[in-house]
Structure 1
């Protein structure tokens, strides 16, 4: 059997094992989706999607527009019904197999991107809106607790048009938390905020959710947002989960080229696996620097994932390639390097380092972490 055949067979088998492992619910799972599919007419938006969210966890569904992440959120909320599969909350089926629990009976809170505050109600009255069945003393106590949690006690009597965008978002969050939902769903919660406020609110919302001990599922297409506020990230593509795991793991060791490219700049450097090193166009890289590269891959052609901060370029008339472009980003500059091998890679330097377009450079590995890799031409990787 050839190395390539062995790699591809192993890749398929291990991918199936990994998928099963990721979707298996634990005893602490609050929310479970099991084989969920959703179609609109002839279009399949969600296909055989399975995941489990643990108590107190912040999970983010991350993917491009139209990938099915918002539809998944609506299925969990009960705003849509799945065509196949089950959705369970605390082990009880709320959708699927002939069962359907209405949204108001699911114990699920939703924070919409428009905030949807009632303009004629004060901040305190907005928070209290979903507590009509509570007695006056308990309702008053709960509203005070939540306004304190979101640091808006002083704005209790303010109307939405008297609040900033960030304050309105915190009121919307407090209102959704008020009935003590089992799960809180956040639909692109920061999309209506300006860039600086968006960054601050990501940190603030994570603090609030953790302080409240609530289980949350968020939806976004913003990679930085997902990475910074989530305990786990599920990357969604065409209605399927490509990979789920801790943000660091998903970023550093993507399991598909789609994930690698969607989570930031990704270049691929071809190499041949030798006994002690992988030979590449920028020199030999020791095998111990390659993540999970087992002995049986010796002689195989692979492609190393290198991100801009993994490489360093220095001027050298006898170097590996030439600078084809420079993009100034403020604190940093992103360089595109065309290698003599015909490959192209990116590298990032501090803004005070300047390389001229057309300048010949030598590339060296700057990464302190192991590099991920793909079998040559493969779209996914073997489980490592």
Structure 2
């Protein structure tokens, strides 16, 4: 087995671990550091106030620095006998299974950022004028019978015009299986939510989420801020440390196991070299060389192989990390201590695997060596 190629694996995996952890950290930061979920708790008056969000004022209208978009959503309060149909009530062939109907302000679509494949969704105009429009996911639209009378569907006795179909969404993936209608329209038809209280989702700029979470309730309900609650995102540093602490030992253990397996495998190379040079060893012993001299003949060779293999593996691993990072538009993260320690680790591995072969060579008797 080639020593240089064998030493490449652990070094490459060590550097790939650094880049993988860094990319996961960035992903967690982007998804969580700019999102503030909120909920209508109702405070101590929850039984008497079904909807604490102020009517006629949208969360995105609240002057809070750092807020990009915000919206209120809840499950529509449908009666038990109301279903989603593709044709007017009375046509049994048009009935479909009842998907969730979500009453959401237009700001929710701005926060969730669906990818529209048809239409453009609804906007504040539809909210303000209680328009009977709907947005559905492509999976719901593809179900048999959902849009037989397109572009309309019926929720109970009310016809809703489907103004948008989307195939994937950045946030709130549950909306893919739901029918989304304006919040004001749903409240006008079915009233405020009953089984589940309304919720809010806010998208912020980087670094503003914690401040927005502290000020959102007071900005929306200055008279009763206890009616609303907002949850700040997890500390990005704590999340990053948690991910690093989880992945670090795992990849370190994998590297150690691979290193041990490869060290056992490459230990055969010095042994083969000893077996092929038995005649040379016997001749040196016959001319007066001692066991120590034979040991120092083979041990530096094994150490040099380990050092060259470690250096080559480090260089190739660094090139792979930089290349993969460039292809994926990542920022490569390389620890200088790791780069310096990799050749030293290769040297140490070469010394360890060369000890046994050197000891075997020093134990060869000159008479037996010359005889063979």
Tell me the TM-score range normalised by the shorter chain.
under 0.3
Which has the larger share of strand?
1
Higher relative contact order (CA 8 A, sep 6+): 2
State the TM-score, normalizing by the size of structure 2. Answer: 0.22
Which has the larger share of helix?
2
